[in-house]
């Protein structure tokens, strides 16, 4: 899959919310209000992954590119924030059909780079203790389990807090 990471645009919101609904159980998925709240927090940013191969196939299939080229489909996104205590990954979601193709890794790396540029020296995130694939994914990216927070999600599911030090380049 050929994908590219770009900044969030307002018109993406509904699509991202639907992806979040599909990625998580109802007790974990955000309402539109919650998602908008996290995306608008001071220091927060959202990056989007779009599947460029889907678009290329469409254009090739028609033989010629028409004037009204559709937008490539969004296959994932990450919401992160930088604050006084460092960087924080709020959520990272990849549609089921696009998983294990490197999209999540590319989103996470892009978010970490942006957090580093914003001055963060470490990143933290929370993930449900029963989300084995996310835990594997974060460990693969160098995150360590720092602690468990009981009842973090709706007072029902415990969370692992995972952290990672970001490499700071030495000041020249």
Ligand X SMILES: CC(C)(COP(=O)(O)OP(=O)(O)OC[C@H]1O[C@@H](n2cnc3c(N)ncnc32)[C@H](O)[C@@H]1OP(=O)(O)O)[C@@H](O)C(=O)NCCC(=O)NCCS
What are 25's two structure tokens? Answer: 């159980």
Shortest reach from residue 74's CB to ligand X, in Å: 13
Q: Is 140 in the site for ligand X (CB under 6 A)?
A: yes
Q: Is 136 in the site for ligand X (CB under 6 A)?
A: yes
Contact range with ligand X by CB under 6 A, out of 31-39, 53-61, 133-141, 145-153: 133-141
Please select the residue that binds ligand X; options are 12, 50, 81, 93, rule is CB under 6 A.
93
Which has the closest alpha carbon to 77: 19, 34, 131, 31?
19
Shortest reach from residue 116's CB to ligand X, in Å: 19
Please select the residue that binds ligand X; options are 5, 55, 129, 134, rule is CB under 6 A.
134
Shortest reach from residue 76's CB to ligand X, in Å: 6
Alpha carbon distance 82, 154 (integer Å): 24
Shortest reach from residue 82's CB to ligand X, in Å: 18
Q: Is 127 in the site for ligand X (CB under 6 A)?
A: yes
Helix (H) or strand (E) holding 37: helix 32-39
The DSSP bridge partners found for residue 116 are: none
Alpha carbon distance 43, 88 (integer Å): 10
Which alpha helices (DSSP H) does 63-148 contain, by range? 103-117, 132-140
- Which residues in the chain belong to E strands, given as ranges? 3-7, 44-51, 74-83, 86-94, 122-128, 144-153, 157-165
Using the minimum distance from each CB to ligand X, give the nearer residue, 62 or 154. 154
Contact range with ligand X by CB under 6 A, out of 9-17, 51-59, 135-143, 164-172: 135-143
């Amino acid at each position: 899959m050929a994908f590219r990471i770009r900044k969030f645009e307002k018109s993406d919101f509904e699509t991202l919310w639907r992806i979040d609904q599909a990625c998580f159980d109802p007790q974990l998925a955000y309402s539109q209000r919650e998602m908008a709240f996290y995306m608008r927090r001071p220091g927060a940013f959202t990056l989007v992954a779009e599947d460029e191969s889907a678009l290329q196939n469409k254009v090739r299939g028609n033989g010629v590119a028409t004037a009204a080229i559709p937008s490539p489909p969004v296959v994932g996104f990450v919401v992160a924030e930088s604050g006084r205590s460092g960087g924080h990954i709020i959520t990272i979601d990849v549609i089921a059909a696009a998983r294990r193709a490197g999209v999540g890794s590319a989103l996470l790396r892009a978010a970490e780079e942006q957090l580093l540029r914003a001055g963060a020296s470490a990143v933290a995130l929370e993930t449900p203790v029963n989300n084995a694939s996310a835990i594997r994914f974060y460990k693969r990216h160098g995150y360590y389990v720092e602690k468990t927070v009981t009842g973090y999600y709706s007072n029902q599911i415990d969370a692992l807090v995972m952290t990672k030090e970001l490499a700071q380049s030495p000041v020249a």
